[in-house]
Amino acid sequence: MGILARFTDILSANINALLDKCEDPAKMIDEYLRDMTNDLAEVKKETASVMAEESRTKRLVDDNRKDAEKYAALAKKALVAGNEDDARVFLVKKQEIEAVGAGLQTAYAAAHENAIKMRQLHDKLVSDINNLNARRQAIKAKVAVAKTQEKVNSLGSSAEKAQGAMSAFERMEAKADQMLDQANAMAELNSPAIDAAQALEEKYKGGDNDSVEDELIALKAQLGIE
């Protein structure tokens, strides 16, 4: 029964523990499903073979028992008929059949035990596969959300860096404005002082302007100013 030895770990496997240990549950669940589906095909074949062996040995046991019962009945008939020697022959045959039956019973017990184990193995694989298929989409969705969250967290970090860069830019801009204001102030301080008389001179320079004087006289007359 090499099949039982090769698949013993399936009976004791804890699917939740396996999923908890893996780094990528979505990838692990697909891989585990593929492996179990392949195993199930082989287990089905072996289970059918073991169950067939159980049925065959059971028939041999039943046939052996019927033969033993037949010769026991014949021995009784021979005794009733007064043929003790014939009865003895039937009883010898019955004992021979029962001796063979003991070996057949042992074979049947082993085949029956193997069939139970293979059936448990088959049923557990089917249950695990159904369980994984039912949880597969939910697990994949959770993994996708987790990966999206990681991206959001990464973008959030980038946004914080960008905000820091903007703050630095604003500080540099304020510094530039301050430097420009200082330069303008320095230029104003370095400008030569303005001579008031010279400024008035510029104002009145240019000689008489007859048209202006005429308009000024007309305006005084209008206002009654001497």
pLDDT tens per residue across span 150-190: 677 776 566 566 566 667 667 777 777 787 777 777 777 77
- For residues 161 and 54, which has the higher predicted lDDT (pLDDT)? 54
pLDDT of residue 164: 64
Collapse the DSSP code of 121 into the 3-class scheme (helix H, G, I; strand E, B; otherwise coil) and give the result.
helix
- Residue 110 within any structural domain of the chain: yes
82-136 pLDDT per residue, tens: 999 999 999 999 999 999 999 999 999 999 999 998 888 888 888 888 887 877 7
What's the number of domains the chain is made of?
Answer: 1
Cβ atoms within 10 Å, residue 36: 20
- For residues 28 and 62, which has the higher predicted lDDT (pLDDT)? 62
What CA–CA distance (Å, rounded) separates 73 from 171?
115
- Residue 226 within any structural domain of the chain: no
DSSP, res 22: -
What CA–CA distance (Å, rounded) separates 218 from 215?
5
CA distances from 85 to 81, 113, 209 (A): 11, 42, 178
Name the residue range of residue 41's domain.
2-167
What is the CATH classification number for the domain harbouring 82? 1.10.287
pLDDT of residue 95: 95
pLDDT of residue 1: 46
Q: Per-residue pLDDT for 30 more than 90?
A: no
Sorted by sequence, the CB contacts under 8 Å of residue 117 that are 6+ apart come out as: 4, 11
What CA–CA distance (Å, rounded) separates 11 from 16?
14
Q: Per-residue pLDDT for 195 more than 70?
A: no
- Residue 206 within any structural domain of the chain: no
Helix (H) or strand (E) holding 194: none
- Residue 50 within any structural domain of the chain: yes
- Residue 26 within any structural domain of the chain: yes
- Residue 211 within any structural domain of the chain: no
Give ∠ CA 129-135-136 in degrees, rounded to 5: 80
Owner of token pair 């206002």:
223
CA distances from 200 to 118, 123, 215 (A): 121, 115, 22
- What's the pLDDT band for 216 if we cut at 50, 70, 90? confident
- Residue 135 within any structural domain of the chain: yes
- Residue 56 within any structural domain of the chain: yes
What CA–CA distance (Å, rounded) separates 89 from 98?
14
- For residues 73 and 16, which has the higher predicted lDDT (pLDDT)? 73
Collapse the DSSP code of 191 into the 3-class scheme (helix H, G, I; strand E, B; otherwise coil) and give the result.
coil
* pTM exceeds 0.85: no
